């Protein structure tokens, strides 16, 4: 696979080039290693493209997953409880999840379980595939 376009959100690329050039090289090498043609396995069911062979997002994610994990990139998931009361959320934000839930319930509110998930993180750099 190759990089055809770059969008540097909040100057992320510039940050990598200056502060984490080894990670940028690692990301580039993983992208270059993915054989895009191997991921062309999805048969289109769309009316205007019926039967065409397309890139499979599942196969693409599997290829990136394998290659990035080999280079010690890992998924990050942070779980916590929220409620409709913004004031209560601010009070519980720094607590561990089980304490958050208890505090929300003791305040008479309904706790809602949520999480933030990032596909890959390494050395405080995140990648979404």
Statement to judge: residues 128 and 105 lie in one domain:
yes
Asked if pLDDT for residue 75 goes beyond 90, the answer is: yes
For residue 30, the enclosing domain spans 1-71
| In a shared domain, residues 2 and 61 | yes
In a shared domain, residues 59 and 90: no
pLDDT in tens, 108-128: 999 999 999 999 999 999 998
Q: Which residues contact 24 (CB under 8 A, 6 or more apart)?
A: 13, 16, 17
The whole-angstrom separation of Cα 23 and Cα 25 is 5
pLDDT recorded at residue 29: 97
Per-residue pLDDT, averaged over 74-99, amounts to 94
Query: Measured between alpha carbons, how far is 69 from 85 in angstroms, rounded to an integer?
Result: 39
Strand residue runs (E) in the chain: 42-43, 53-54, 74-82, 112-122, 125-127
pLDDT score, position 44: 94
Average pLDDT of the residues in 93-102: 94
**How many domains in the chain?**
2
Backbone angles phi, psi at 117, to 5 degrees: -125, 135
- Mean pLDDT of all residues in the chain? 95
Banded model confidence at residue 65, pLDDT cuts 50, 70, 90: very high
pLDDT at position 5 is 94
**49, 71, 93 — which closes off a domain?**
71
Q: Do 110 and 126 fall into the same domain?
A: yes
88 CB neighbour count, 10 Å cutoff: 19
- Looking at the predicted structure, is the pLDDT value of residue 129 above 90? no
| Cβ(92)–Cβ(99) below 8 Å | yes
Taking only the tens place, the pLDDT of each residue in 15-46 is 999 999 999 999 999 999 999 999 999 999 99
């Amino acid at each position: 696979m190759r990089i055809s376009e770059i969008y540097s959100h909040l100057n992320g690329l510039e940050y990598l080039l200056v502060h984490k050039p080894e990670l940028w090289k690692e990301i580039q090498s993983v992208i270059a290693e993915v054989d895009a043609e191997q991921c062309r396995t999805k048969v289109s069911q769309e009316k205007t493209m019926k039967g065409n062979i397309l890139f499979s997002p599942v196969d693409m994610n599997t290829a990136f997953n394998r290659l990035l994990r080999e280079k010690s990139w890992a998924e990050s998931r942070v779980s916590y409880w929220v409620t409709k009361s913004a004031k209560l959320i601010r009070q519980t934000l720094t607590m561990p999840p089980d304490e958050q839930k208890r505090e929300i319930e003791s305040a008479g509110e309904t706790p809602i379980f949520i999480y933030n998930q990032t596909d890959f993180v390494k050395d405080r750099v995140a990648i979404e595939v």
